[in-house]
């Protein structure tokens, strides 16, 4: 199905199933521990051996000598895999560094060996017997120090509109501020894990991967085997947040281990290995300049960002939202990329916007204060309904102002005292902050197969993944709505490369595109059903498990009485995303209390008002938003991968050192979805929501801390040591 004109009325608009708050259909499995994750597949292949990965102890240099003799003869050991016996390996398109290092080492904890043994305990013990001598080389590990040598990244030119420098210089009110965001870890609960089994030259990987088709291609390129010999299976994924977009060393080493050992091998990354062995969200330095008239109209807006990555890597696109979010005739954005020898930087939930808005939305707060304006009024005054870089190119929907207004109303913004540090409740300094949320809606093709059987059961198959996003349920809702059956007449099978290629899970594009692909396949199945039942005239009506046309009503199942009916189709897009800017919007509101003696920061209330097209399942969509708000609170208040700038690695590489929010940190969270449908987005009229929730929330927290204390922290995370020395006198 080609989607190249805005959607007209269609079966999804019935909203009998879609749009209803629906319990997850995978809920009973997940809550009873019976949903199978990658490392747990005792059921799929016999005789599994255990693999344990050894990571490099240096960040950059070479292995000069590796002694695996003791490991090879240790009890239970079946095989040891290193670069010496791994054969010639390629590198996947989505990997920056090699997944198996040696002799060259590209980053700390890069895998250098896998020990395969009968048990986990034996493999772990034997890995400790491997002796590696390194020749370390000096590397670059400090973004601030490398900043001046940073260059324009390939394919990421500066964007300029009008005369930024002239307009900024002439502006009566100016802000020029620099912000930093640290490296952050995905820290998903399920470690990267894979079971690999070879059958001749065919390889099956039960793995935790968000993007099945990317994974097949990258395994093919890395192992130099044809794609058709590779099967990836990933029905349940214990969180990803971008950290499982790509094939990682667990999958490669399991495949290599299984080959050398001659039997299936399972490998999970240990928690301490995850932070340096895999990808992370890169740190940024961001300079923002805003010039405005005294009335608060932005005349110049500039955003520059510096980040680092391994050679061949990419910048953190932290200026992205600044190209689109506010009006202003003179504009500049620029990204500079430094070569750093830290582990590989890559996408983490809302790459670009998440750290970008942490800076921009504090700058907007600072500018509003300079102007003596309410920060909401300042944003509303500079709202735009068209792409500010391409006047005349409209937004498909843009309800940012409505998000902010409703949020202010619900949150009691009017009660906020704009003068910082003026509200006290006993020992607590109390403040409110807000920020705009913004994240683009990306459209990309997605396919599915649907089957109707003689019992009237509809089975959907697509290689789409559910990483906690609620995909199983919204796909079932889509199929139920389109085929006119109740939810329990739909079965959904995901995450298998034998199924049609979907959009996968990333960039908050999963929900809209994958359901649109299922819708396309279901519409094709409806045609087959109609033909089979001899309904040739008007478009038949599918409802309540029946099909009716011209006064005839027959059970849907009857169409499959002679055998299953199968249809496969995909959604593909025309140029509506070129003609229209498609984005999602939010207003984030936060109240904090800061201990006037200790500087301890507590979140008291959080609210997000979101405009993100049709909400397919308000229950799971709300969970996506509160989860993202939680991660945003972590980014604001605690998350920071501490860089050892001499040795080049993230020091706090476990869940005790890398702090993420826990129950006690998070208050009740409120989420409101504006009533919106976006017919320009897809036949579902939906947009993504999984990343919108993290976009802006960090700045809202920082702004609330400022309002509470009068302390403006521009270097995240906003920890108590940064506010303690500047707190108002205790009274």
Partner 1 sequence: MRNHGNADVSRRGLLLGAAASAALTATPRHGQAMPADADVPSAPHPGPVPIMNPVMNRVSLTVNGAAQTLEMDTRTTLLDALREHLRLTGTKKGCDHGQCGACTVIVDGRRINSCLTLAVMHEGGSVTTVEGLGTPAKLHPMQAAFVKHDGYQCGYCTPGQICSAVAVLDEIKAGIPSHVTASLTDAPQATNAEMRERMSGNVCRCGAYSNILEAMTEVAGQKMADQQNGRDPA
Q: Which residues 106-145 are close enough to bind partner 1 by CB under 8 A?
A: 108-109, 119-122, 124-125, 127-139
Q: In the complex, what is the shortest distance from the CB of residue 308 to partner 1, in angstroms, rounded to a whole number? A: 17
**Residues in 28-87 that interact with partner 1 by CB under 8 A:** 28-37, 39-40, 42, 54-55, 57-61, 64, 67, 70, 73-76
Judged by CB under 8 A, the number of residues near partner 1 is: 102
Query: Which residues, at least 6 apart from 729, have a Cβ–Cβ distance to it below 8 Å?
Result: none
The binding track of 613-632 with respect to partner 1, each residue x by CB under 8 A or -, is ------xx-xxx-xxxxxx-
Q: In the complex, what is the shortest distance from the CB of residue 72 to partner 1, in angstroms, rounded to a whole number? A: 11
Between 581 and 624, CB nearer to partner 1: 624
Between 225 and 666, CB nearer to partner 1: 666
Structure tokens at 581: 């800017």
**Residues in 474-513 that interact with partner 1 by CB under 8 A:** none
Identify any residues that bridge with 309 across adjacent strands, giving them in sequence order: 339
When asked if residue 241 is in the footprint of partner 1 (CB under 8 A), the reply is yes
Q: In the complex, what is the shortest distance from the CB of residue 188 to partner 1, in angstroms, rounded to a whole number? A: 5
Between 371 and 616, CB nearer to partner 1: 616
The binding track of 631-670 with respect to partner 1, each residue x by CB under 8 A or -, is x------------x-xxxx----xxx---xxxxxxxxxx-
- The candidate with the shortest Cα–Cα distance to 364, out of 438, 283, 441, is 438
Only segment of 238-246, 375-383, 490-498, 581-589 that touches partner 1 (CB under 8 A): 238-246
Q: In the complex, what is the shortest distance from the CB of residue 519 to partner 1, in angstroms, rounded to a whole number? A: 24
Q: In the complex, what is the shortest distance from the CB of residue 617 to partner 1, in angstroms, rounded to a whole number? A: 10
Q: Which residues of 203-228 are buried (b: 16+ CB within 10 A; e: fewer)?
A: bbbbbbbbbbbbbbbbbbbbbebeee
Between 41 and 323, CB nearer to partner 1: 41
**Residues in 275-334 that interact with partner 1 by CB under 8 A:** none
Identify whether 366 is a catalytic site residue.
no
When asked if residue 564 is in the footprint of partner 1 (CB under 8 A), the reply is no
The dihedral region occupied by 507, where left means phi > 0, alpha psi between -120 and 50, and beta the remainder, is left
Q: In the complex, what is the shortest distance from the CB of residue 60 to partner 1, in angstroms, rounded to a whole number? A: 7
The binding track of 138-177 with respect to partner 1, each residue x by CB under 8 A or -, is xx--------------------------------------
Q: Rounded distance, CA 609 to CA 697, Å?
A: 11
Q: In the complex, what is the shortest distance from the CB of residue 476 to partner 1, in angstroms, rounded to a whole number? A: 15
Between 398 and 653, CB nearer to partner 1: 653
Q: In the complex, what is the shortest distance from the CB of residue 518 to partner 1, in angstroms, rounded to a whole number? A: 21
- Is 19:676 a contact under the CB 8 Å cutoff? no
Among 183, 190, 304, 569, binds partner 1 (CB under 8 A): 190
When asked if residue 103 is in the footprint of partner 1 (CB under 8 A), the reply is no
Q: Rounded distance, CA 557 to CA 540, Å?
A: 15
- Is 181:355 a contact under the CB 8 Å cutoff? yes
Q: Rounded distance, CA 494 to CA 503, Å?
A: 12
Identify any residues that bridge with 496 across adjacent strands, giving them in sequence order: 233
**Residues in 667-686 that interact with partner 1 by CB under 8 A:** 667-669
Sequence-ordered alpha helix ranges (H) in 326-372:
353-371
Q: In the complex, what is the shortest distance from the CB of residue 586 to partner 1, in angstroms, rounded to a whole number? A: 16
> CA torsion sign, 26 to 29 to 33 to 37?
negative
When asked if residue 468 is in the footprint of partner 1 (CB under 8 A), the reply is yes
Between 265 and 520, CB nearer to partner 1: 265
Other residues' Cβ atoms within 10 Å of the Cβ of residue 409: 11
When asked if residue 105 is in the footprint of partner 1 (CB under 8 A), the reply is no
Q: Rounded distance, CA 695 to CA 172, Å?
A: 30
- The candidate with the shortest Cα–Cα distance to 435, out of 335, 365, 342, is 365
**Residues in 4-33 that interact with partner 1 by CB under 8 A:** 23-24, 26-33
Half-sphere exposure (Cβ direction) of 78: Cα atoms closer than 13 Å: 22
> CA torsion sign, 58 to 194 to 447 to 10?
negative
Between 121 and 425, CB nearer to partner 1: 121
Between 261 and 467, CB nearer to partner 1: 467
- Is 706:724 a contact under the CB 8 Å cutoff? no
Structure tokens at 48: 């599994």
Only segment of 176-184, 266-274, 431-439, 454-462 that touches partner 1 (CB under 8 A): 266-274
Of the residues 361, 366, 461, 691, only one is catalytic, namely: 691
Q: Rounded distance, CA 472 to CA 518, Å?
A: 12
- Is 222:92 a contact under the CB 8 Å cutoff? yes
When asked if residue 237 is in the footprint of partner 1 (CB under 8 A), the reply is yes
When asked if residue 356 is in the footprint of partner 1 (CB under 8 A), the reply is no
When asked if residue 467 is in the footprint of partner 1 (CB under 8 A), the reply is yes
Between 24 and 336, CB nearer to partner 1: 24
- The candidate with the shortest Cα–Cα distance to 366, out of 413, 402, 418, 428, is 418
Identify any residues that bridge with 670 across adjacent strands, giving them in sequence order: 607
Q: In the complex, what is the shortest distance from the CB of residue 32 to partner 1, in angstroms, rounded to a whole number? A: 5
Q: Rounded distance, CA 671 to CA 215, Å?
A: 34
Between 658 and 706, CB nearer to partner 1: 658
> CA torsion sign, 82 to 84 to 88 to 92?
positive
* Active centre residues (catalytic): 691
């Amino acid at each position: 199905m080609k989607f190249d004109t805005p959607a007209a009325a269609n079966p999804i608009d019935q909203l009998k199933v879609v749009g209803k708050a629906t319990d997850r259909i995978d809920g009973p499995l997940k809550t009873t521990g019976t949903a199978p994750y990658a490392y747990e597949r005792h059921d799929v292949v016999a005789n599994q051996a255990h693999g344990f990965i050894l990571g490099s102890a240096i960040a950059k240099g070479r292995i000069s000598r590796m002694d695996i003799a003791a490991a090879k003869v240790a009890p239970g050991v079946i095989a040891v895999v290193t670069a010496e016996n791994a054969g010639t390996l390629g590198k996947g398109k989505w990997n920056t560094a090699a997944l198996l290092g040696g002799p060259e080492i590209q980053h700390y904890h890069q895998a250098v060996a896998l020990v395969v043994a009968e048990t986990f305990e034996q493999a772990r013990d034997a890995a400790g017997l491997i002796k590696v001598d390194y020749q370390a080389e000096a590397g670059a590990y400090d973004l601030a120090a490398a900043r001046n040598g940073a260059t324009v990244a390939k394919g990421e030119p500066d964007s300029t509109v009008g005369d930024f420098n002239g307009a900024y210089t002439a502006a009566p009110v100016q802000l020029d501020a620099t912000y930093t965001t640290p490296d952050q870890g995905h820290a998903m609960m399920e470690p990267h894990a894979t079971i690999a089994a070879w059958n001749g030259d065919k390889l099956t990987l039960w793995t935790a991967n968000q993007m099945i088709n990317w994974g097949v291609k990258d395994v093919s390129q890395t192992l130099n085997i044809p794609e058709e010999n590779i099967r990836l299976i990933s029905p349940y994924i214990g969180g990803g947040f971008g950290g499982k977009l790509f094939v990682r060393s667990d999958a490669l080493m399991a495949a290599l281990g299984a080959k050398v050992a001659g039997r299936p091998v399972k490998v999970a990354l240990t928690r301490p290995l995850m932070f340096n062995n895999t990808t992370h969200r890169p740190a940024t330095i961001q300079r923002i300049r805003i010039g405005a008239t005294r009335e608060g109209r932005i005349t110049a807006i500039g955003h520059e960002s510096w980040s680092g990555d391994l050679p061949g890597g990419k910048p953190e696109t932290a200026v992205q939202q600044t190209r689109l979010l506010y009006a202003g005739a003179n504009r500049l954005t620029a990204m500079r990329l430094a070569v750093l020898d830290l582990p590989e930087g890559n996408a983490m939930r809302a790459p670009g916007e998440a750290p970008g808005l942490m800076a921009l939305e504090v700058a907007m707060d600072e500018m509003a204060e300079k102007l003596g304006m309410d920060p909401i009024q300042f944003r509303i005054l500079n709202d735009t309904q068209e792409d500010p870089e391409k006047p005349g190119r409209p937004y498909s929907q843009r309800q940012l102002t409505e998000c902010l207004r409703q949020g202010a109303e619900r949150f009691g913004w009017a009660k906020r005292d704009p003068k910082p540090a003026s509200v006290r409740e006993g020992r607590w300094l109390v403040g409110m902050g807000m920020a705009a949320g913004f994240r683009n809606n990306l459209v990309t093709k997605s396919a599915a197969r649907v089957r109707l059987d003689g019992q009237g059961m509809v089975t959907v198959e697509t290689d789409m993944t559910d990483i906690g996003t609620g995909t199983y349920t919204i796909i079932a809702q889509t199929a139920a709505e389109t085929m006119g059956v109740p939810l329990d007449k739909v079965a959904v099978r995901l995450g298998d490369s034998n199924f049609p290629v979907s959009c996968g899970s990333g960039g908050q594009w999963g929900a809209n595109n994958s359901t649109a692909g299922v819708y396309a396949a279901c519409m094709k199945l409806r045609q087959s059903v109609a033909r089979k039942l001899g309904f040739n005239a008007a478009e038949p009506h599918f409802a309540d498990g029946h099909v009716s046309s011209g006064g005839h009503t027959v059970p849907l199942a009857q169409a499959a009485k002679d055998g299953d009916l199968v249809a496969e189709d995909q959604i593909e897009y025309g140029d509506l995303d070129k003609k229209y800017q498609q984005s999602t919007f939010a207003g984030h509101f936060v109240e904090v209390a800061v201990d006037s003696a200790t500087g301890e920061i507590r979140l008291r209330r959080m609210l997000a008002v979101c405009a993100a097209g049709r909400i397919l399942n308000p229950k799971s969509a709300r969970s996506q938003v509160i989860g993202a708000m939680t991660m945003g609170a972590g980014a604001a208040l605690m998350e920071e991968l501490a860089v050892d700038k001499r040795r080049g690695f993230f020091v706090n590489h476990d869940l005790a050192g890398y702090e993420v929010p826990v129950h006690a940190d998070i208050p009740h969270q409120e989420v409101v979805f504006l009533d919106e449908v976006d017919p320009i987005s897809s036949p579902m009229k939906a947009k993504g929501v999984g990343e919108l929730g993290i976009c802006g929330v960090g700045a809202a927290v920082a702004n609330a801390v400022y309002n509470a204390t009068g302390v403006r922290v521009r270097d995240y995370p906003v920890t108590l040591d940064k506010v303690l020395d500047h707190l108002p006198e205790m009274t």
